[in-house]
């Protein structure tokens, strides 16, 4: 029987400052006792995107307040924790450093073990926190900075089947919003517009569907959107609300179609390994999109595979997923010490060829 563990998790890799407390009693389902997220939307709004220096400063200001609130909500003290888990990358270096420094202080001050967590592992392991999903499963991790298919065989066992060769879908949603004058983060705004639009009015490309395998590309989509927007503007000297909704609907449908077809192919590859209880799970900020969730659910159903998508608040960045990934590492005896470094780049599957970025800064994915 496994021991009861209570873990404090910290997240600060992008523009959400988070602190959470997750507990697992023996072998029972884990409980999220607190999950505090302080967004920074207002601070970046005027700039049309996340400004790394502003983000880092805001994390420094908010981290300890978030920890205080999380402990208060959980009704526990720091001394009740078994360990402090923190995102040690990948992400914006200033923010990751702020989290790692805060965690080191808490760990040294309270004499608690320190556990560095890969942010992507946090997303990829979320279905185990929310749905007790057993290994191995196929994960589509789809967020603002990442998009990849992974076979998840354990807390330390990720094998990448394919991914984006350029932008991540979240990035494309954010750029689409920017081009159409919608607020950031773009995903929820574009989704809301898309619900009022006609997805068939504009013919957007479905990049890389003509090539085998499950690699994807989303950068051409935003160029197509820009062209379609400009064509309407030239024709009518402006965009109506309906034009904007139709552009959003067409764009979102193209993303849905690409993700669905590539998921079909990734599923076929994963099923060739004959997993005992085959399952498809999706995670990351873009997994909050209802149209994308239902398109993926349909693909899973068609393949006779179980489907898991975390609740919306656990799709976008949060510290509960970091506490949970920390707990999985704790149970494997994987701890860090005060030498724990912040990694701006840190691919989950280190054995695969880099897909994005290389050289001095290392592979992005």
Size of the site for Zn ion (CB under 5 A): 2
- In whole angstroms, what is the distance from residue 114 CA to residue 7 CA? 10
Select 24 or 143, whichever has its Cβ closest to Zn ion.
143
Nearest distance from C-beta of residue 228 to ligand KG4, angstroms: 19
Q: Does 191 participate in binding Zn ion (rule CB under 5 A)?
A: no
- In whole angstroms, what is the distance from residue 278 CA to residue 305 CA? 6
Select 58 or 112, whichever has its Cβ closest to ligand KG4.
58
Q: Does 143 participate in binding Zn ion (rule CB under 5 A)?
A: yes
102: CB partners within 8 A, 6+ apart = 10, 12, 63, 64, 67, 86
Q: Which of ligand KG4, Zn ion, none does residue 197 bind (CB under 5 to 8 Å by kind)? A: none
Q: Which of Zn ion, ligand KG4, none does residue 258 bind (CB under 5 to 8 Å by kind)? A: none
How wide is the angle at C-alpha 144 spanned by C-alphas 291 and 305, nearest 5°?
A: 45
- In whole angstroms, what is the distance from residue 75 CA to residue 207 CA? 50
Q: At what angle do helices 119-131 and 320-331 cross, to 10 degrees?
A: 90
Phi-psi region of 182 (alpha: psi -120 to 50; beta: other; left: phi over 0): beta
Are the beta carbons of 79 and 115 closer than 8 angstroms?
Answer: no
Nearest distance from C-beta of residue 244 to Zn ion, angstroms: 27
Interface contacts to ligand KG4, rule CB under 6 A: 14, 143-145, 170, 173-174, 185-188, 191, 284-286, 288-289, 316-317
Are the beta carbons of 161 and 266 closer than 8 angstroms?
Answer: yes
Strand runs labelled E in 213-261: none
In this chain, which of 317, 328, 336, 349 binds Zn ion, going by CB under 5 A?
A: 317
Nearest distance from C-beta of residue 310 to ligand KG4, angstroms: 11
Select 170 or 250, whichever has its Cβ closest to ligand KG4.
170
Q: What are phi and psi of 93, to 5 degrees?
A: -60, -40
Q: Which of 328, 324, 335, 288 is nearest to 11 (CA)?
A: 324
Q: Which of ligand KG4, Zn ion, none does residue 316 bind (CB under 5 to 8 Å by kind)? A: ligand KG4
Select 23 or 44, whichever has its Cβ closest to ligand KG4.
44
Q: Which of Zn ion, ligand KG4, none does residue 289 bind (CB under 5 to 8 Å by kind)? A: ligand KG4
Q: Which of ligand KG4, Zn ion, none does residue 10 bind (CB under 5 to 8 Å by kind)? A: none
Nearest distance from C-beta of residue 185 to ligand KG4, angstroms: 4
Q: Does 118 participate in binding Zn ion (rule CB under 5 A)?
A: no
- In whole angstroms, what is the distance from residue 71 CA to residue 83 CA? 13
Select 133 or 147, whichever has its Cβ closest to ligand KG4.
147
Nearest distance from C-beta of residue 126 to ligand KG4, angstroms: 10
Nearest distance from C-beta of residue 216 to ligand KG4, angstroms: 15
Nearest distance from C-beta of residue 145 to Zn ion, angstroms: 7
- Unique residue bearing structure tokens 């109506």: 240
Q: What are phi and psi of 163, to 5 degrees?
A: -175, -170
Select 112 or 315, whichever has its Cβ closest to Zn ion.
315
- In whole angstroms, what is the distance from residue 11 CA to residue 305 CA? 32
Residue 88: strand, helix, or coil? strand
Nearest distance from C-beta of residue 1 to ligand KG4, angstroms: 34
**What are the residues binding Zn ion (CB under 5 A)?**
143, 317
């Amino acid at each position: 029987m496994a021991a009861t563990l209570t873990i404090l998790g910290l997240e600060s890799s992008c523009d959400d400052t988070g602190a959470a407390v997750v507990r697992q009693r023996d072998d029972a389902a884990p409980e999220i006792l607190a999950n505090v997220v302080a967004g920074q939307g207002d601070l970046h709004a005027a700039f049309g995107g996340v400004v790394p220096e502003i983000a880092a400063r805001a994390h420094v200001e908010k981290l300890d307040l978030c920890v205080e609130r999380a402990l208060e909500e959980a009704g526990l003290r720091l001394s009740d924790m078994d360990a402090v888990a923190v995102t040690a990358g990948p992400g914006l270096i200033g923010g990751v450093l702020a989290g790692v420094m805060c965690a080191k202080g808490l760990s040294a001050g309270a004499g608690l073990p320190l556990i560095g967590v890969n942010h992507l592992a946090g997303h990829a392991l979320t279905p185990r926190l929310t749905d007790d999903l057993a290994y191995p499963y196929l994960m589509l991790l789809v967020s603002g900075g990442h998009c990849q298919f992974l076979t998840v065989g354990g807390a330390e066992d990720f094998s990448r089947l394919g991914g984006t060769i350029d932008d991540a879908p979240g990035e494309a949603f954010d750029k689409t919003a920017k081009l159409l004058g919608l607020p950031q983060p773009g995903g929820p705004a574009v989704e809301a517009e898309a619900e009022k639009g006609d997805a068939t009015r504009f013919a957007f490309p479905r990049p890389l569907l003509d090539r085998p395998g499950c690699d994807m590309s989303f950068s051409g989509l935003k160029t197509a959107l820009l062209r379609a927007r400009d064509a309407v503007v030239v024709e009518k000297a402006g965009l109506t609300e309906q034009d904007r909704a139709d552009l959003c609907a067409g764009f979102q449908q193209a993303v849905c179609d690409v993700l669905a077809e590539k998921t079909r192919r990734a599923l076929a590859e994963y099923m060739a390994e004959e997993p005992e209880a085959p399952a498809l799970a999706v995670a990351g900020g873009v997994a909050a999109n209802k149209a994308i969730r239902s398109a993926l659910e349909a693909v899973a159903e068609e393949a006779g595979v179980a489907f898991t998508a975390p609740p919306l608040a656990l799709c976008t960045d949060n510290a509960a997923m970091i506490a949970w990934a920390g707990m999985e590492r704790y149970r494997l005896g994987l701890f860090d010490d005060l030498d724990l470094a912040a990694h701006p780049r840190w691919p989950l599957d280190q054995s695969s060829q880099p897909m994005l970025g290389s050289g001095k800064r290392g592979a992005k994915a």
